[in-house]
A and B are shown apart, each in its own frame.
Chain A
Amino acid sequence: MSKRLAVIPELCSGCRICELVCAIEHFGVNNPKKSAIRVLITYPHPVVRMPIVCSQCKVPACADACPVEALKKTDDLVELDRDLCISCLKCVDACPFGAIYAHDQVDNPIKCDLCGGSPQCVAKCPKKALRLIPEQVLGESKRLNNVLSYAHMKEIEYMEKGEKKTIRYAEIGKEEL
């Protein structure tokens, strides 16, 4: 079953622990600038904390741009073959998300490989803003939120055996969408 690394920016605090553990896992050094995941922050309008990491696209723009076919789509990954890679960094430019990185001390472009199936960033994120989830589940929370925004929640109070109670119910369709 194909799994995707999902990013939930609303939960990200910008602590950059993901960057630290990624670089430690892949390069054995303490250097967030050698990480394949980076948190980008905009403030104050809009306030966004967004970890940017490879989406393992099924039709990868990076692979298209690669002149030596070093990037290939496999089952779960867009895999980089370091032996073929000539480090022209065309893939860095080609990625529409800027999710491939370069560093002058690293021979090849830096790209997420999902740590062979158990990504360290997911394991160590203190806010659970990064998750490895089955592909068909992607978008689940957005669908739910969309449904909830359609229903306008109301609350009424009533008395039961002399005790005050409240009940919540959905008033549907009253708000213009």
Chain B
Amino acid sequence: MSIKSGYFKKHLSVDLSSGSCTQLDLQESFIREYIGGRGFGAKMVWDNLVAHDFKVDPLGPENLLVIAPGPLTGLYLPSSGKCSFISLSPATGVYGDSSMGGSFGAELRQSGVDVLSVTGKAKELSVLMIEDAETKILPMPELKGKSCLETEGLVKQALGTHEINVACIGPAGENLVRFACVNADWSRNAGRTGIGAVMGSKNLKAIAVRGARDLPVHDLEGLIKEAEKAYDYMRNHKFFDLWQREGLMNVMEYANAAGILPSYNFKDASFARIGQINGDTMLDGYKIGDSACFSCPMCCGNICLVKHGKYMGTVVEGPEYETCAMLGSNLGIDNFAAVLHAAQVCDEYGLDTISAGNLIGAVIEGYEQGILSLKDLDERPITWGDEEAILELMHKIAHREGIGDILADGSLRVIKTWPKLDKLILQVKGLEQSAYDSRAGASMALAYATSDIGAHHTRAWTIAKEIELGQDWSDEEKVDLVIYHQTLRPLFDMLGVCRLPWIELGLNEEHYESFYSAVTGQPATLAELLQKSNRIYDLTRLINTRLGMSRSDDTMPYKVHSAPVRTGPTAGQVIDKQVFERLLDLYYQKRGWDAQGVPAAGLEKQFSP
């Protein structure tokens, strides 16, 4: 069998130092084994590490940035707008990636490119322009310091067209903030692991793409048949209307009721004034429209406008759950207009809202406890719900002013500077934790600890099962579920589709084997595809262990094991360290890694360049 279609088989390789843009052919074996998206990215990052003898600075010119949609991106099937950004992470120093919705990935594919890699560093701040695989590097130093929204507008103006797709960074990316994100379609983000800083380190302000090619599909009729089944299933789902109406904001009430909503820097896991920052509040006074990623009927993105008060005129796409929780309840903010404004500020600066919310929460608590002095805070006191001080801090982070310069380097440097903050910051491997409190269940703590990119929820989101089942399931079931998620969820990133139709509406994962088979002409079962995504998990683990990580980096943040939730449904809960270590042992064993979490010695050969 062979891959008959589904790819242009083109890799666009850009070296910003030399200015060379080369079209390389992708080998069929590479396509078959790594599929696309983060599969392509992990392998290319690995090859780059091998070529540099594992001495790669995430912010150095030698670091490789890979931008990869998947073979399903841009196709007529549910939610095919995903594109992965993969690199060594400036936040963790090890493997990092982040996936973005919107339509940037679809446009990139239509230009005839399956994967784009960028290395080197441009002499001046530049824009990479890709049109039907013709590539130009355009110096645009005038974009320096411009916000993401301004940048997208100015790039379109400079190129003389509105109908072009732009992914760009804001001041945070330029200033190498280690949790800077990449922004496209005005406000879709590749938010996590600091990919924006990688672009900044390369003097790459934006990537503009336009393409008009037919996307290769082996059996279009078969694909459409399967896609219609999936679309019909989604349209008829009982929660479909809720998703269209509230999008991810519906999670606020769910998380609050379950006791997993971060509040006051994770001191609490529910928020007394939830009614002021929930979906109903948004619908009552703020929502003005829907926003969907490419080909997605769920349109979980809301568009909100603040119509009066001091934040009047604020327009933001979202907020998503993570943003509303981390910039709302986690900072003690109960003013929805202020949450929207903070989200807009993060969009404009190009800051990851999850990391920003974590770090600012830790600063407030640190000051409250006397760990941070007024002098540390540049003589500007800060407290819970203090909207103005919080917005000021965001500005300082993005521009590296005062204390912002330290915060901009992420948890690891913050902890080095103020070791006592270690107990207040929820992070794993240097990546700040997402907005699902893992004290509700040990499997979620295991999921964060063993996530290859750090404490992010997209790798395994077992918390819903924890809430459903309570403590009433075995260690083995928990570990199996974490591993299943870590295998299936990356598959979505490899194929270039969103996981929400599956996780939120229960769309059967077997649709994806049909999609893959119809598109590539190579019949594959779900089990076969999962084998391949599982292999990528081994590969990213190998990257991390070769860069010096081991069991001692697969940890629980201090609060998770030693600071019980203060109030609410999960009050008093922590995760027992012994239980966690037992799960971790079992996890390594099932993964086939040794007791230190290092994959078998023979594995490396499988991935030789």
Contacts and interface: CB of A to CB of B under 8 A. Distances in A.
A173 interface: no
Contact of B290 (A21, A24, A45, A127): A127
Interface in A1-46: 10-17, 20-21, 24, 28-34, 40-41, 43-45
Contacts of A126: 231, 235, 244, 292, 297, 299
B153 to A, nearest CB: 9
B231 to A, nearest CB: 8
A121 to B, nearest CB: 12
Interface stretch (B49-57, B212-220, B504-512, B568-576): B212-220
A93 to B, nearest CB: 16
A83 interface: no
Contact of A24 (B187, B220, B291): B220
Given A16-B103, A45-B315, A33 B290 contact: no
B436 interface: no
A29 B76 contact: no
A32 B110 CA distance: 9
Interface string A123-146: 010110000000000000000000
Contact of B76 (A12, A30, A33, A104): A30
B238 to A, nearest CB: 16
B315 A31 contact: no
B305 A47 contact: yes
A32 B289 CA distance: 23
Given A10-B289, A43-B186, A29 B294 contact: no
A72 interface: no
B289 A47 contact: yes
B74 interface: yes
Interface string B267-297: 0000000000000000000001111111111
Contacts of B291: 13-14, 49
Contacts of B301: 13
B310 interface: no
A16 B244 contact: no
Interface residues of B, number: 41
A30 B186 contact: no
Interface string B306-334: 00000000011100000000000000000
Interface of A is mostly: loop
A15 B292 contact: yes
A103 interface: yes
B303 interface: yes
Nearest to A106: B212
Contact of B220 (A28, A33, A40): A28
A16 B294 contact: yes
Contact of A31 (B215, B288, B293): B215
Contact of B296 (A15, A45, A47): A15
B186 A15 contact: no
Contacts of B74: 30, 32
A77 to B, nearest CB: 25
B76 A15 contact: no
A86 B6 CA distance: 34
* From A32, A44, A127, residue with most partner B Cβ within 10 Å: A44
Contact of A17 (B244, B295, B303): B295
B479 interface: no
Contact of A104 (B212, B215, B220): B212
Interface in B531-558: none
B500 to A, nearest CB: 13
A16 B295 CA distance: 6
A30 B217 contact: yes
A10 B231 CA distance: 22
Contact of B214 (A13, A15, A17, A29): A29
Given A40-B162, A43-B187, A24 B76 contact: yes
B89 to A, nearest CB: 29
A20 B295 contact: yes
A39 B299 CA distance: 15
Contacts of B223: 30
A75 B75 CA distance: 35
B586 interface: no
B253 to A, nearest CB: 23
A10 to B, nearest CB: 7
Nearest to B344: A44
Contacts of A34: 212, 214
Contacts of B186: 41, 43-44
Contacts of B289: 10, 13, 47, 49
Contacts of A103: 212
A164 to B, nearest CB: 21
A107 B217 CA distance: 22
B415 interface: no
B290 A13 contact: yes
B315 A15 contact: no
Nearest to A10: B289
B75 A30 contact: yes
B181 interface: no
Given A30-B214, A31-B213, A103-B212, A44 B294 contact: no
B214 A14 contact: no
A20 B289 CA distance: 22
B76 A31 contact: no
B297 A20 contact: no
Contacts of A29: 214-215, 220
A127 B299 contact: yes
B497 interface: no
B3 interface: no
B162 A33 contact: no
Given A40-B162, A44-B186, A31 B214 contact: yes
A124 B297 CA distance: 10
B224 interface: yes
B157 to A, nearest CB: 13
Nearest to A129: B290
A101 to B, nearest CB: 10
Contacts of B211: 33
A32 B75 CA distance: 9
A100 to B, nearest CB: 15
Interface string A94-128: 00000000011100000000000000000010110
16 contacts: A13-B244, A14-B290, A15-B293, A15-B294, A20-B295, A21-B76, A30-B76, A30-B214, A31-B214, A32-B74, A33-B211, A47-B315, A49-B291, A126-B292, A127-B290, A127-B297
Given A41-B186, A105-B212, A127-B299, 14 more contacts: A11-B290, A13-B301, A14-B292, A21-B76, A29-B215, A30-B217, A33-B110, A43-B187, A43-B317, A47-B288, A49-B291, A126-B292, A127-B290, A127-B297
Top 3 closest A-B pairs, CB basis?
A126-B297, A15-B292, A13-B299
Interface of A: 10-17, 20-21, 24, 28-34, 40-41, 43-45, 47, 49, 103-105, 124, 126-127
